[in-house]
Amino acid sequence: MNPYIANPYRFAYIAIMEVPKNQIARNERQIGAILRRARKQAGLTQGALGDHIHLRQATVSRLEAGEPAMQLRTLMAALAALDLELVIRYRTKGSSADIEDLF
């Protein structure tokens, strides 16, 4: 039985409850780290997430590694599958080094 059909809210609930509410990412690597953390907290493998969003495990791996030139559509699909959203706002005054310490 497909776990996504049997309990469609399972991984969304886990992601909402355990992923810190506001995370700042200023580069691809930081976005990848946020996605990796959310996926693991949802109890999903890269392969399972890839199956859910119709991508290969290798593509999920590249996204999590912060490899450049990933399609925005790929990022948005992964965010949606993990019940995350992209928020765009003006940059905070913290330095890049301060934000790197979060990862």
Stated pTM of the model = 0.69
Find the CATH number of the domain harbouring 12: 1.10.260.40
Q: For the chain, how many structural domains are there in total?
A: 1
Tell me, what's the pLDDT at 95?
A: 67
Distance CA 51, CA 30 (A): 23
Tell whether the model's pLDDT for residue 12 goes beyond 80: no
Residue of 101 and 92 predicted with greater confidence: 92
Distance CA 79, CA 34 (A): 10
Tell whether the model's pLDDT for residue 46 goes beyond 70: yes
Tell me, what's the pLDDT at 20?
A: 61
User: Considering the chain, what is the average pLDDT of its residues?
Assistant: 80
The residue range of the domain holding 19 is: 3-86+93-100
**Closest to 49 (Cα-Cα) out of 68, 66, 62:** 62
Distance CA 11, CA 62 (A): 21
Give yes or no for a contact between 25 and 34, defined as CB atoms under 8 angstroms apart: yes
Exposure letters 47-62 (e unless 16+ CB within 10 A, then b): ebbbbbbebeeebbeb
Average pLDDT of 51-80? 93
Tell whether the model's pLDDT for residue 17 goes beyond 60: no
- The interaxial angle of helices 28-41 and 72-81, nearest 10 deg, is 30
